[in-house]
C-alpha cells in the first residue's frame, strides 16, 4: 500500500466513510515499510508517523493494537532480529522517530520535559549520544577502583536475561566485589539471581505487550528510579545496559555517558556464528580489561528444589524424567504445526519408563494447549493428571508412568528442568534455563528469520549437552514430515542417558 493511499484511507475512516479497515491499513503499512527497507531504502517516516497516530487513536482499542503491532512486530523487531549494523542503524532511526512523535503529544509531555532537562531537545542529539557511548569503552583502572554501585538493566524476557544478563551480573559481581549491584526489571529476576551476594532486584515493569505511550514514557519513571540510586554517587556508579527495551535499546540516557556501558548485541561481528553468550563475554572482556569466559548461570530457591525433589521421589527411581515446555513467547512461528505435539507426547508415553512432565506455561493460550494435549493423551488411553505448584507435593499422582501437566512459576520450572533427566522445548527461555543448569536438552528451533538469528540464540551449552534441530520453514511441513519429526525427536529424547 502506498503511503498516500494509506493516509487517504485513514482519513476516510476518521470521516466515518471507511473504505478499508484501519487494521488492514496498519498491517499493510508495516509490511510495505519493511519491503522498502529490505530493498535498500531508508525508513519512510511518513509511514512511521501515521502508525504512531493510529496507535494513539482513542476510540478504538483494536486500532491501537494493530498500529503498535505494525510498528514493533513488523518493523522494529525484524530489524533487531537481522543482527546487522545496518539493521541497528535503521532501527535507531525508527525508534527515534517514534520517540520524537510521542514527545510532541500531550501524553508525552513528561518524556519531552525530561529529555529537554537532559539537553536532548532533538532526536539527532540522542543519536549522537548513542554513537558516543560506544567509543573508548574500556574502563580505566582508577575508575574501576572508585565504583561502589552498578545498575544493570534487564532484557525483560527470561531467555535473554539468562543468556546475556546472567553472564553480565556474575562477571560484574566478580570484578567489583566492593560494589552493590542492582538489577532492574520484571519478577523473574529474583528467581534466577536468588542468593547471589551483593546483588539486589529492583522491580520495574515494562509494558512489553502494552500501548505505544506506555512503552515509551515508562522511561521517565525508570530514570527517576535509577536517579535515587546514583544521586550522591554520580562518579562512583556504573550503568550496564545489555541492549534493553527499558532504555529503548540504549537510545534514552539514564546515566552520564562516561559511566554508561551498552552491549551492542545486534551489531555485525567478525565471527558471525557466535552465540549471544559468547559475544557478551567478549564485550565484557573489552570493557573490564579481562580474559574470562563463563556460561550462563542461574540460581534456584532451595524451597523450589526441595518441592520438586519430593514430587519426583514418588515415582520409581528407574524411570526417565522428561520435562517439556511448549511455550514460544507469543511467536507462533517457533511452534510446529499440529499434530506434532500430540504425536511427540504419544511417542514418548509409549516407553514404559517415561514420566513426562508438561509445563503448562504462563500465557492463557499455552495453558489451554496443555490442557488439550492432556485430554488427547487420555483419549489415547495414557495416564494423565494435572497439578499446580501449590499442590505439587500435597496431591499424590495415582500412577507411575504417564503425563503430568504442571502449572507454576519460573522458579518451579527452573527446578523441574534442573531435576529432569532430559528437557525438550522450542526456541524459548527454557532452552537457556536448561543450559544454565547443565540439563541434557533436545531443542526444536523453528521460526528463525535468518542464519544469524539461529546462531545468536542457540544456547551456550556444556560439552554438547544440547542437541538442536533447526526447522527452516515449518509452514511447508506435510503430515508425513511432522510424523517423522515427532519420531526423530522421541528417539533423541529417549536416547539421553538417565542422570544419577
Task: Quote the pLDDT of residue 337.
Answer: 96
* Cell numbers found for residue 128: 549522537
Strand order in the sheet with 466-471: 384-388, 402-407, 354-359, 320-325, 422-426, 441-446, 466-471
pLDDT band per the 50, 70, 90 thresholds, residue 364? confident
Q: What is the pLDDT of residues 28-84, one digit of tens each?
A: 999 888 888 888 888 889 999 999 999 999 999 999 999 999 999 999 999 999 999
Last residue of one domain, picked from the residues 129, 144, 168: 129
- Residues 396 and 487 grouped into a single domain: yes
Q: What is the pLDDT of residues 109-128, one digit of tens each?
A: 999 999 999 999 999 999 99
Overall average pLDDT of the 328-353 stretch: 95
**Does 295 fall in a domain?**
no
- Residues 314 and 212 grouped into a single domain: no
Report whether 321 contacts 424 (CB < 8 A): no
Q: Which parts of 231-301 fold into alpha helices (H)?
A: 276-288
Domain that holds residue 332: 302-495
- Residues 252 and 329 grouped into a single domain: no
Task: Quote the pLDDT of residue 26.
Answer: 94
- Residues 88 and 167 grouped into a single domain: no
* Cell numbers found for residue 83: 543482527
Task: Quote the pLDDT of residue 497.
Answer: 85
Residues of the chain with pLDDT > 90, as a percent, come to: 87
Overall average pLDDT of the 151-155 stretch: 98
Domain count, the chain: 3
Task: Quote the pLDDT of residue 72.
Answer: 95
391: buried, middle or exposed (CB in 10 Å: 19+, 13-18, 0-12)? exposed
SS3 364: helix
- Residues 277 and 357 grouped into a single domain: no
Mean of the per-residue pLDDT values of the chain: 94
Strand order in the sheet with 199-203: 199-203, 180-185, 149-153, 237-241, 260-262
Report whether 466 contacts 441 (CB < 8 A): yes
Task: Quote the pLDDT of residue 1.
Answer: 74
Last residue of one domain, picked from the residues 77, 109, 129: 129
Q: What is the pLDDT of residues 186-227, one digit of tens each?
A: 999 999 999 999 999 999 999 877 799 999 999 999 999 999
- Residues 255 and 356 grouped into a single domain: no
Closest C-alpha among 323, 489, 289 to residue 404: 323
Find where cell 514514557 sits.
Answer: 217
Return d(Cα 25, Cα 5) in angstroms, integer: 9
First to last CA, the chain: 60
Overall average pLDDT of the 455-483 stretch: 92
- Residues 330 and 215 grouped into a single domain: no
- Residues 69 and 156 grouped into a single domain: no
- Residues 102 and 143 grouped into a single domain: no
pLDDT band per the 50, 70, 90 thresholds, residue 500? low
* Rama region for 330: left / alpha / beta (φ>0; ψ in -120 to 50; rest): left
Find where cell 539461529 sits.
Answer: 454
Task: Return the CATH number at 282.
Answer: 3.40.50.2000
Last residue of one domain, picked from the residues 105, 129, 153: 129
- Residues 119 and 144 grouped into a single domain: no
* CB within 8 Å of 100: residues ≥ 6 apart: 122, 123
- Residues 344 and 201 grouped into a single domain: no
Pairing of strands 149-153, 260-262: unpaired
- Residues 316 and 454 grouped into a single domain: yes
Closest C-alpha among 264, 251, 222 to residue 129: 251
Amino acid at each position: 500500500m502506498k503511503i498516500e493511499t494509506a493516509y487517504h484511507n485513514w482519513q476516510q475512516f476518521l470521516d466515518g466513510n471507511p473504505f478499508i479497515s484501519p487494521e488492514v491499513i496498519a498491517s499493510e503499512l508495516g509490511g510495505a515499510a519493511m519491503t522498502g527497507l529490505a530493498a535498500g531504502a531508508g525508513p519512510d517516516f511518513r509511514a512511521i508517523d501515521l502508525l504512531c497516530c493510529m496507535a494513539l487513536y482513542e476510540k478504538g482499542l483494536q486500532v491501537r493494537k494493530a498500529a503498535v503491532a505494525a510498528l514493533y512486530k513488523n518493523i522494529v523487531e525484524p530489524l533487531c532480529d537481522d543482527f546487522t549494523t545496518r539493521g541497528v542503524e535503521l532501527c535507531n532511526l525508527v525508534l527515534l522517530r517514534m520517540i520524537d512523535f510521542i514527545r510532541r503529544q500531550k501524553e508525552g509531555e513528561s518524556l519531552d520535559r525530561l529529555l529537554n532537562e537532559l539537553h536532548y531537545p532533538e532526536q539527532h542529539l540522542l543519536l549522537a549520544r548513542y554513537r558516543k557511548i560506544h567509543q573508548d569503552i574500556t574502563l580505566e583502572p582508577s575508575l574501576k577502583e572508585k565504583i561502589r554501585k552498578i545498575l544493570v538493566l534487564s532484557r525483560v524476557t527470561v531467555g535473554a536475561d539468562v543468556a546475556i544478563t546472567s553472564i553480565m551480573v556474575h562477571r560484574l559481581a566478580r570484578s567489583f566485589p566492593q560494589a552493590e549491584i542492582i538489577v532492574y526489571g520484571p519478577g523473574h529476576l529474583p528467581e534466577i539471581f536468588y542468593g547471589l551476594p551483593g546483588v539486589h532486584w529492583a522491580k520495574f515493569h515494562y509494558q512489553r505487550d502494552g500501548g505505544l505511550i506506555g512503552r515509551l514514557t515508562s522511561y521517565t519513571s525508570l530514570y527517576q528510579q535509577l536517579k535515587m540510586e546514583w544521586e550522591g554517587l554520580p562518579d562512583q556508579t556504573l550503568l550496564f545496559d545489555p541492549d534493553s527495551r527499558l532504555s529503548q535499546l540504549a537510545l534514552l540516557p539514564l546515566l552520564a555517558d562516561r559511566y554508561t556501558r551498552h552491549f551492542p548485541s545486534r551489531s555485525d561481528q567478525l565471527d558471525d556464528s557466535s552465540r549471544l553468550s559468547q559475544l557478551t563475554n567478549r564485550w565484557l572482556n573489552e570493557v573490564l580489561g579481562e580474559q574470562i569466559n563463563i556460561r550462563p548461570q542461574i540460581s534456584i530457591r532451595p524451597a523450589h528444589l526441595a518441592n520438586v525433589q519430593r514430587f519426583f521421589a514418588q515415582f520409581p527411581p528407574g524411570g526417565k524424567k522428561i520435562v517439556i515446555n511448549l511455550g514460544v513467547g507469543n511467536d507462533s512461528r517457533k511452534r510446529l504445526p499440529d499434530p506434532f505435539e500430540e504425536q511427540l507426547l504419544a511417542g514418548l508415553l509409549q516407553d514404559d519408563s517415561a514420566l513426562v512432565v508438561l509445563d503448562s506455561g504462563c500465557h492463557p493460550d499455552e495453558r489451554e494447549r496443555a490442557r488439550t494435549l492432556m485430554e488427547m493423551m487420555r483419549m489415547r488411553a495414557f495416564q494423565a493428571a494435572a497439578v499446580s505448584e501449590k499442590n505439587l507435593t500435597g496431591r499424590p499422582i495415582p500412577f507411575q508412568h504417564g503425563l503430568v501437566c504442571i502449572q507454576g512459576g519460573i522458579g518451579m520450572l527452573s527446578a523441574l528442568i534442573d531435576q529432569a533427566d532430559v528437557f525438550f522445548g522450542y526456541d524459548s527461555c527454557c532452552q537457556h534455563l536448561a543450559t544454565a543448569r547443565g540439563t541434557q536438552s533436545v531443542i526444536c528451533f523453528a521460526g528463525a528469520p535468518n542464519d544469524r538469528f539461529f546462531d545468536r540464540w542457540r544456547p551456550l551449552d556444556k560439552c554438547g549437552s544440547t542437541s538442536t534441530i533447526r526447522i527452516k520453514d515449518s509452514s511447508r511441513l506435510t503430515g508425513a514430515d511432522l510424523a517423522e519429526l515427532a519420531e526423530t525427536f522421541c528417539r533423541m529424547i529417549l536416547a539421553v542417558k538417565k542422570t544419577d
